[in-house]
């Protein structure tokens, strides 16, 4: 079988603005019903999890201002995803719900408490997508003149998760007895300070509440750079990855597994899901025609791709000559994704890169049965573990994936037909 997730790549934001099938997104973007519809559909389809992106800054790299992003509702406005988690948990039975949290700006104690709370509220089905944040503007919103150096952010994140893990372990599993006969609710011997003193963090502890049903929420990480992959290999239960094509995915998985073995971890204890774009049709020719229309729209909208590249890198891509070879781009922001969109394309000029119609991941086009068969072939070649859907979030795409592709996958025995366990981690590691 194959593991599946859905990446809500714009976070709690405006989805499908000015696009067909987006309903009244301009007016009701903060209405939780769209996310609840997605969660219920994925729960019915028996996906492993849905993951919600986040960010805490207004981009202003492209053309030197925030104007383009504000006018087009790209990356702004954006609301905090954490309050959605218990709503989604109440609407589902087995789906894992992963919200993005930055190790750079969440104090470890606050993170541990929030993670434990959400794990309780979802009955043990919460995950945390740990990011180090990639933009100087984010850092400036939290009092820093600029963000920490890229690899330093991951060294700090490694110590951060150690503090958080110790806080989740500061209560023994049987600390709460709630015994009316003795009149004791919590055994004092089961709750101990952690007295952590590291290079970057200090925390006395203990946490003022017990950990959730999982003990430790599922930890997700997008390991792209060398530092990111090393962090993911040591700390993550699931990795979301973007690799171009099945060969790139196979090389990535082999790399992460080798790093896990070096860290004395069993590679089976971490599931890698590869980003994928899927274009479906009732016939293959219909799907191909639809993909051609989408590609034409991408090629015509250069500003959107340049603005996205500027968002990821913090570098204004409007300043480069579109038809000259692009110089090497070095960034302290999102290195892996910037490289994927520039050096990873195999193109030379910025125009060629910006009009590249690949998603940068593994792309599929065809009928649901076509795509299911191709997914089976790809995952066998890669060696596992699964796919992360990255389609734009509309009710049309929800139906196409949950009610079109999912049944085709299940007919081939590639998608579970039910959740075997109550807890997210147990379902994730069930195969």
CATH classification at residue 135: 3.20.20.30
At 18, the pLDDT band (50, 70, 90 cuts) reads: confident
Check residue 123 and give its pLDDT: 98
Check residue 344 and give its pLDDT: 83
The mean pLDDT of 96-110, rounded to a whole number, is 98
Domain membership of residue 329 (yes or no) is: no
Q: Answer yes or no: is pLDDT of 232 > 80.
A: yes
The mean pLDDT of 58-72, rounded to a whole number, is 97
At 16, the pLDDT band (50, 70, 90 cuts) reads: confident
Q: What percent of the chain has pLDDT over 90?
A: 91
The mean pLDDT of 273-300, rounded to a whole number, is 96
Check residue 74 and give its pLDDT: 95
Q: Tell me which H or E stretch contains 189.
A: none
Domain membership of residue 119 (yes or no) is: yes
Rounded distance between C-alpha atoms, residue 230 and residue 214, angstroms: 24
The mean pLDDT of 106-135, rounded to a whole number, is 97
Name the least confident of 13-22, 30-39, 174-183: 13-22
The mean pLDDT of 146-166, rounded to a whole number, is 96
CB of 390 within 8 A of CB of 9? yes
Domain membership of residue 190 (yes or no) is: no
Q: Answer yes or no: is pLDDT of 20 > 90.
A: no
Quote the number of domains for the chain: 1
Pick from 207, 200, 234: nearest CA to 112: 207
The mean pLDDT of 163-167, rounded to a whole number, is 98
Query: By residue range, what is the domain housing residue 15?
Result: 3-169+211-295+360-428
The mean pLDDT of 236-240, rounded to a whole number, is 97
Domain membership of residue 200 (yes or no) is: no
pLDDT tens digit string along 331-361? 998 988 898 899 888 889 999 999 999 999 9
Supply 378's token pair.
């790809």
Q: Answer yes or no: is pLDDT of 141 > 90.
A: yes
Burial class (CB in 10 A: 0-12, 13-18, 19+), 314: buried
Domain membership of residue 343 (yes or no) is: no
Name the least confident of 78-92, 94-108, 326-340: 326-340
Check residue 21 and give its pLDDT: 82
At 120, the pLDDT band (50, 70, 90 cuts) reads: very high
Domain membership of residue 366 (yes or no) is: yes
pLDDT tens digit string along 356-404? 999 999 999 999 999 999 999 999 999 989 999 999 999 999 999 999 9
Name the least confident of 12-26, 40-54, 230-244, 304-318: 12-26
Domain membership of residue 163 (yes or no) is: yes
Supply 372's token pair.
């299911």
- Residue 420, φ and ψ in degrees, nearest 5: -75, -25
Q: Answer yes or no: is pLDDT of 302 > 80.
A: yes
Q: Answer yes or no: is pLDDT of 24 > 80.
A: no
CB of 15 within 8 A of CB of 25? yes
Rounded distance between C-alpha atoms, residue 49 and residue 240, angstroms: 11
Domain membership of residue 337 (yes or no) is: no
Check residue 404 and give its pLDDT: 98
């Amino acid at each position: 079988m194959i593991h599946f997730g859905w990446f809500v790549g714009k976070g709690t934001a405006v989805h499908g603005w000015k696009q067909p099938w987006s309903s009244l997104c301009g007016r009701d973007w903060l209405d939780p019903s769209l996310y609840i519809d997605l969660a219920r559909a994925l729960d019915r389809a028996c996906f492993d999890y849905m993951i919600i992106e986040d960010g805490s800054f207004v981009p202003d790299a492209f053309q030197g201002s925030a104007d383009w992003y504000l006018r087009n509702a790209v990356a702004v406005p954006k609301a905090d995803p954490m309050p959605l988690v218990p709503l989604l948990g109440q609407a589902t039975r087995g789906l894992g719900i992963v919200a993005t949290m930055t190790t750079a700006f969440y104090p470890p104690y606050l993170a541990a408490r929030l993670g434990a709370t959400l794990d309780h509220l979802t009955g043990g089905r919460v995950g945390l997508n740990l990011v180090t944040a990639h933009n100087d503007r984010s850092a400036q919103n939290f009092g820093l003149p600029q963000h920490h150096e890229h690899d330093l952010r991951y060294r700090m994140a490694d110590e951060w998760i150690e503090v958080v893990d110790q806080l989740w372990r500061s209560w023994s599993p049987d600390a709460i007895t709630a015994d009316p006969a003795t009149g004791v609710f919590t055994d004092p011997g089961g709750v101990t300070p952690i007295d952590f003193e590291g290079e970057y963090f200090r925390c006395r502890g203990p946490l003022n509440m017990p950990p959730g049903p999982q003990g430790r929420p599922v930890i997700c990480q997008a390991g792209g750079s060398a530092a990111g992959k090393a962090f993911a290999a040591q700390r993550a239960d699931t990795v979301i990855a973007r690799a171009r094509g099945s060969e790139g995915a196979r090389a990535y998985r082999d790399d992460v597994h080798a790093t896990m073995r070096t860290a004395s971890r069993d590679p089976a204890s971490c599931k890698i899901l590869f980003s994928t774009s899927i274009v479906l049709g009732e016939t293959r020719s219909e799907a191909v025609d639809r993909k051609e229309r989408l590609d034409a729209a991408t090629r015509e909208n250069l500003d959107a791709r340049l603005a996205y590249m500027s968002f990821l890198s913090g570098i204004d891509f409007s300043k480069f000559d579109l038809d000259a070879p692009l110089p090497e781009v070095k960034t302290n922001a999102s290195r892996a994704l910037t490289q994927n969109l520039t050096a990873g394309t195999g193109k030379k000029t910025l125009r060629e890169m910006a009009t590249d119609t690949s998603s940068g991941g593994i792309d599929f086009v065809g009928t649901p049965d076509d795509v299911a068969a191709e997914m089976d072939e790809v995952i066998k070649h890669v060696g596992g573990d699964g796919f992360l859907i990255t389609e734009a979030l509309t009710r049309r795409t929800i139906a196409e994936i949950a009610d079109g592709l999912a049944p085709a996958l299940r007919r081939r025995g590639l998608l579970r037909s039910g959740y075997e366990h109550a807890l997210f981690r147990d379902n994730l590691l069930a195969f």
